[in-house]
Amino acid sequence: MIYFGLLVYLFLLFIRPAEWVSAVQGWPLEFVVLALVGTAALVKAFVMNSAGRPRGIPVQIPLLALWVVAIFLSNAVHGNLWAAREFTLLFAKRALIFLVFWLVIDSTRKLRGVLTLTVFLVAILAIQGIYMKQNGVGWAGQPMYWGDRIRWVGLWDGANVLSLLFVSTVPFVLEMIFGPWKLLSKLFGLCTGGLILIGMYLAASRGAWVALGVVFLVYFKRRLGRVGLALAALAIVGMIAFGPSRLMHQSEIDKSSSAHRIDMWAEGIEMLKGNPVLGIGKGQFRSYTHMLIAHNTFVQNMGETGMVGLFIWVALAYSCFQSLGMVLRHENQLSVSLVSLRRAVLVSFIAYMTASLFISTDFEPFYILIALSSALLTIARREVGQELPVKLNLQSLRNIALIEFAGVVMVHFAVMFYYRR
């Protein structure tokens, strides 16, 4: 029943009936279901621990607690208590998402179910996009996005964020088709994958298509070595040849959009210079610029939460790769099914982080993917019968600091180079 509740939450997260179905419009369905599932999962976890079957605390939990505190302080130090409360509650809910997914997904069967449902729901959004392109409005009555591109509602009300869902789901589809999944799953992957690629074409997000190229390179290289690189190269050539015209030919609006993004990166640097420790406040980027958000999650967190918040956010992403890397080290001792799922989650997270360079991506899927990596590690521990520790030791903290510093320097020099051309 708890697992079924998690699947219901996924449906509410992607399809978002409370945003457009009149019978439930405005209802807090998503939060209520998440809270109920979370409560039931915590009770179950407490009972299991009482029975002498400890689960262990993943390193992401203290990081998420620090992330929520940093978000609160980033606004509170500027006296913006309303924003401090609102964004603290929002990201506390996203931390709860991690906890719920990590607690509930305790087997490869459940993880397969989550990935399969995710692919199905995202394919439905692609069908919605096809309908929207044909009729000029979507199922919810929403108009086309600028540039005659498709969109959905709520969290996914822009072509870029909708593309984020599409591209981060592609690795799940690839693993269904090329991995050790049954014939029915492979047929399902082929059908839904075709729809998702059509959706990506209609949304025409350049950042998402770059991420798709990275997906092909990483996935096929890991599966087939040099032959995989050749296949990925062919796929990328096909993307360029048959992809949206925006990939190769920029309109005046596209050129203006690209220029504005560099302007926002410059604004992010200025935010950091003025508020290097805790930033200008989470959620305040657009208020500061009076124009746009950063369209780059690293820059957005840099400007809004300063070096402290940025360090924690980088640590969250780093911990995901740590967890998946630990599973990889024991690949020979794991079931074929778990190895397949690890590959799908890893490439999906790489796609998500690649897209984050072009799209502001601090949404629910980020926390779900981190939770899936932690759940994979928990399942691997059970299969191997070892602790498989993942800790943020001094070496990890040094690496995170170096990544953060290198990222800030790269953004700074990218802005300088652009303006001095």
Cα Rg of the chain (Å, integer):
21
Task: Find where tokens 């926002």 sit.
Answer: 264
Q: For the segment 264-309, what is each residue's pLDDT rounded down to a tens digit?
A: 899 999 999 999 999 999 999 999 988 778 889 999 999 999 999 9
Note the pLDDT of residue 259: 65
**Amino acid identity for residue 388 in this structure:** L
Quickly state the pLDDT bin for 54 (edges 50, 70, 90).
very low
Give yes or no for residue 242 having a pLDDT over 90: no
How many Cα atoms sit within 13 Å of 84 on the Cβ side?
14
Quickly state the pLDDT bin for 248 (edges 50, 70, 90).
low
Lowest mean pLDDT among 88-92, 202-206, 227-231, 374-378: 227-231
Instruction: Say how far apart CA 148 and CA 387 lie, in whole Å.
Output: 52
Choice between 274 and 361, residue whose per-residue pLDDT is larger: 274
Give yes or no for residue 52 having a pLDDT over 70: no
Note the pLDDT of residue 420: 74
Q: For the segment 158-214, what is each residue's pLDDT rounded down to a tens digit?
A: 999 999 999 999 999 999 999 999 999 999 999 999 999 999 999 999 889 999 999
Angle at 161 between CA 241 and CA 152, to 5 degrees: 100
Percent of residues, the chain, with pLDDT higher than 90 = 76
52: Cβ–Cβ under 8 A, 6 or more apart, which residues?
A: none
**Which sequence spans correspond to the domains of the chain?**
1-54, 59-104+255-421, 114-249
**Mean pLDDT calculated for residue range 67-72:** 98
**Mean pLDDT calculated for residue range 336-353:** 96
Note the pLDDT of residue 378: 93
Q: What's the whole-number average pLDDT of the chain?
A: 91
Percent of residues, the chain, with pLDDT higher than 70 = 94
Note the pLDDT of residue 143: 96
Note the pLDDT of residue 244: 82
Quickly state the pLDDT bin for 246 (edges 50, 70, 90).
low
Q: For the segment 114-157, what is each residue's pLDDT rounded down to a tens digit?
A: 999 999 999 999 999 999 999 999 999 999 998 899 999 999 99
How many Cα atoms sit within 13 Å of 337 on the Cβ side?
12
DSSP 178-230: HSS--HHHHHHHHHHHHHHHHHHHHH--HHHHHHHHHHHHHHHHHHHTHHHHH
Note the pLDDT of residue 230: 86
* Rama region for 142: left / alpha / beta (φ>0; ψ in -120 to 50; rest): beta
pTM of this structure: 0.94
Quickly state the pLDDT bin for 241 (edges 50, 70, 90).
confident
Give yes or no for residue 233 having a pLDDT over 60: yes
In angstroms, what CA-CA distances link 362 with 28, 139, 161, 316?
21, 26, 10, 12
Quickly state the pLDDT bin for 260 (edges 50, 70, 90).
confident
**Amino acid identity for residue 88 in this structure:** T
**Mean pLDDT calculated for residue range 338-364:** 93
Instruction: Say how far apart CA 409 and CA 403 lie, in whole Å.
Output: 10
**Mean pLDDT calculated for residue range 22-44:** 94
